[in-house]
Amino acid sequence: MLPDLSELRATARVVKLPLGVKFRGLWTREIMLFQGPEGWTEFSPFVEYDDGEASSWLKAALEFGWAPVPALHRDDIQVNATVPAVASDQVAEVLAHFDGCRTAKIKVAERGQTLADDVARVKEVRRLMGPEGRIRVDANGAWNVDEAEHAFHAFAEFDLEYVEQPCSDLSELAELRERTHYMDILIAADESIRKAEDPLLVAQAVAADVLVLKAQPLGGIGAVVNLSSQVSLPLVLSSALESSVGIAMGLYAAAAVPELTYDCGLGTAALLSADVTTLPLVPEGGRIAVQRPHVSEDLVERFSADPDTTAWWMERLERCYELLQS
């Protein structure tokens, strides 16, 4: 049962949160919040996503605001640092925001940059974290198979934990996995899972070694738990550059999954230079407690979006709500 649309509109607030570093080409993150009986919840598909894709994010938001969370297996989550596609001399500044994190995920294959830029960034992370640090890279599906294989060789000396979504197509991932299995570099699937019509079929394909799951794109915590119960591959729960409210949804999803082998990508609130809470859910000693943040009305007001942006989000909410109804 969906809450009434008027109930959503009554508490809906749209904010534009500034980032401390450019990420996914963005310097601000637009987010819609509303409050349900379980607490504040977040609806924040990226603005370029169509309504069909965005409706899954709304489903997740309604579940988190209106339904009790499932049983939890842990009360805090070990998380990784996230390093955007910055110049190598900015890496130390970024890592400083991720207190105690033993793992770093590094964005690579950014448009306008070269593989040499990526290698320099990864090399600097390895230097700063030392041999005991765990390093993974994320290409967001930007490479073809040949480019990805070349990149694997370029990164081989840095002892990668895995490469996330090196290619966009599932068949390409499978081919790349076959070509590079001798290198012992694991392949993780992200977009292939969350953008699929049937994530389970993708998860069962022999195309990846690790599955990256995100609560909002998959339709909520329940969907994550259900998928986790039907696959045998190890999971990483990750975020989508959300506020601490969205991060909380991811934390509860990670806590509800029976088994976690890898550190989770739920520390990205550290990339924001402002949040909707005075106590952001950021890493402390490499971990974040599973909790809902207290949303500050003062901060929501301070970072409220302009009327045109708010109207755009309200219209988007109505369209996605209609899709969920149907």
Helix, coil or strand: residue 66: helix
Long-range contacts of 47-52 (CB under 8 A, 24+ apart): 51/316, 51/319, 51/320, 51/323, 52/323
Q: For tokens 């910055």, what's the residue?
A: 86
Contact 188, 212 (CB under 8 A): yes
| Candidate list 16, 123, 195, 214, residue with the active-site label | 214
Output the six-digit token pair for 304.
């409220």
Can 107 be counted among the known catalytic residues?
Answer: yes
Mean pLDDT of the 259-273 span: 97
Mean pLDDT of the 2-19 span: 97
Q: Give the per-residue pLDDT at 146.
A: 98
Contact 64, 220 (CB under 8 A): yes
CB atoms near residue 82 (< 10 Å): 27
Backbone angles phi, psi at 310, to 5 degrees: -60, -45
Q: Give the per-residue pLDDT at 308.
A: 98
Q: Round to whole Å and give the CA distance between 11 and 35.
A: 6
Spatial strand order in the sheet of 235-238: 81-83, 103-107, 134-138, 160-164, 186-189, 210-214, 235-238
Residue 204 vs residues 136, 214, 230: alpha-carbon distances, Å? 22, 17, 9
Q: Please report the domains of the chain, with CATH numbers, ordered by start residue.
A: 5-68+297-325 (3.30.390.10), 76-289 (3.20.20.120)
Res 214 pLDDT > 80: yes
- pLDDT tier, 24 (very low <50, low <70, confident <90, very high otherwise): confident
* Least confident window among 74-83, 194-203, 204-213: 194-203
Q: Give the per-residue pLDDT at 40.
A: 98
| Candidate list 16, 105, 107, 123, residue with the active-site label | 107
301-320: pLDDT as tens digits: 999 999 999 999 999 999 99
Can 195 be counted among the known catalytic residues?
Answer: no
